[in-house]
Amino acid sequence: MSHTPKTFRDIEQFEVKTKNLQQEKHLQQLKVLLPSLPPYVFKYFQKNRKRSATTLFNYANDYKLFFNFLADNNWVLETINKDTISPVDIPITILAELPLEEAEEFQGYLDGKYEQRTVNRRISALKSLFNYLTQKSEDPKTKEPYFYRNVFAKIETTKVSSDPVKRADSFEQKIYRGNEDIRFLDFIASDYEKALSPIQLRFFLRDKNRDLAILSLFLGSGLRLSELAFLQLEDINFEENSLGVFRKGQSGKVYVTVNPRAMDELKEYLHTRTENYGCANDEKHVFFTRYKGSYSPLSIRSIQDLVEKYSKAFNVNKRLTPHKLRHTFATKHWTANKDLIGLQTQLGHTSSEITSSYTHVGKDKQHKNLENMDKLED
């Protein structure tokens, strides 16, 4: 069975409609990933150009993980009678003959590393790929699909409960509660540097204003990681204390309100940005890093790493992610305002059912309320 090899020219000419800067960046990152995937997978992406660049980029990452797994799999190596193989060279016959046991092993691998929603999404991406290869593809010679056996159709995923109470319970212990978020920011501002070596201190002082701005924005607005990572100077409105972002389901930019402390931290960072990173004053991207004498936009991965680093230093038993900082903001917003529609708008949720999770956080206060009621009966 033959497959048209994908060339760099094919990849350069691969285009998907993009609506904003974030999707344009994901398209470029997708083009970087495609050469590491087998040719028949590239055909899948050509067939699915109507999907957003962000969705296709996420799928490419899922497939890269899967083919890396196959390249290290003993059954694969024994089947092709080789000691090693590159993921890009995995023959399509491996997918056609992949035993259910090996597919379930990959699912188990995911279960050990990721949350259930992420596992489900990655299995869903593979179901989509295998559905294309077994039903919608066409081999140039046979005019038939590449193969007919879809092993991932046999893989069942674990349904994630939509019960808002259960969803709230799942993350209540993984967020900052009460005034813990304020103490966390104060710790970074005043105490974190006390335990650093001279070299660590030098880099921390360079990045301090930037990192405080990032952490404050997560905790003071509920921004998503991608929204913060792709923030542009033109998106900032200091007069209205708001930031413009592109959100799913929105045709244009929407403005998200930010608390004054976070905007002050952002302003302080912008005052030192050019001096610390060497970028021009009018450089459109907001957050930068500096390496070997040149500056570049701060990546999503770098933002994730700095959140984990600081939260671990603050409390080794509570390592947070940007998403957990967003949960922290949402929980605090609900506790203070009891405004479900306002919170839904602030977070950019398309469904109030998702937002309602936060209305069930705060069981300690519920217990206290009942205790106070009991006291009235004495």
Give φ, ψ of 254 to 5 degrees. -120, 155
Q: How confident is the model at residue 136 (pLDDT cuts 50, 70, 90)?
A: very high
DSSP classification of residue 133: I
Which residue in this structure is represented by tokens 């009678």?
A: 81
Alpha-carbon distance 364 to 378, whole Å?
A: 22
Report which secondary-structure segment, H or E, holds 237: strand 236-237
Q: Is 224 a residue of the active site?
A: yes
Please, what is the end-to-end C-alpha distance for the chain in angstroms? 83
pTM listed for this prediction? 0.63
Alpha-carbon distance 15 to 49, whole Å?
A: 7
Candidates 6, 43, 326, 327; catalytic one: 326
Length of the chain (residues)? 378
pLDDT digits (tens, 9 = 90+) for 152-194: 999 988 776 555 555 555 566 678 988 999 999 999 999 999 9
pLDDT digits (tens, 9 = 90+) for 294-329: 999 998 889 999 999 999 999 988 889 898 999 899
Q: Is 248 a residue of the active site?
A: yes
Candidates 202, 248, 267, 309; catalytic one: 248
Domain boundaries, the chain: 8-154, 164-362
Q: How confident is the model at residue 21 (pLDDT cuts 50, 70, 90)?
A: confident
Measured CA distances, 235 to 89, 110, 228, 255, 295 (Å): 44, 37, 11, 8, 21
CATH superfamily for 164-362 is Intergrase catalytic core (1.10.443.10)
Measured CA distances, 279 to 167, 238, 284, 347 (Å): 43, 21, 10, 31
Tokens of 320: 């947070």
Report which secondary-structure segment, H or E, holds 196: none
Q: Is 323 a residue of the active site?
A: yes
Q: Is 176 a residue of the active site?
A: no
Range in 11-15, 44-48, 240-244, 283-287 the model is least confident about: 11-15
**Are 328 and 181 a contacting pair, CB within 8 Å?**
yes
Long-range CB pairs of 231-239 (<8 Å, 24+ gap) are 231/285, 231/286, 231/287, 232/21, 232/284, 232/285, 232/286, 233/282, 233/283, 233/284, 233/285, 233/286, 234/284, 235/286, 236/266, 236/286, 238/263, 238/267
Strands 242-246 and 236-237: antiparallel
Candidates 224, 273, 324, 360; catalytic one: 224
Q: How confident is the model at residue 249 (pLDDT cuts 50, 70, 90)?
A: low
Q: Is 358 a residue of the active site?
A: yes
Give 256's strand partners. Answer: 243
Alpha-carbon distance 295 to 318, whole Å?
A: 32
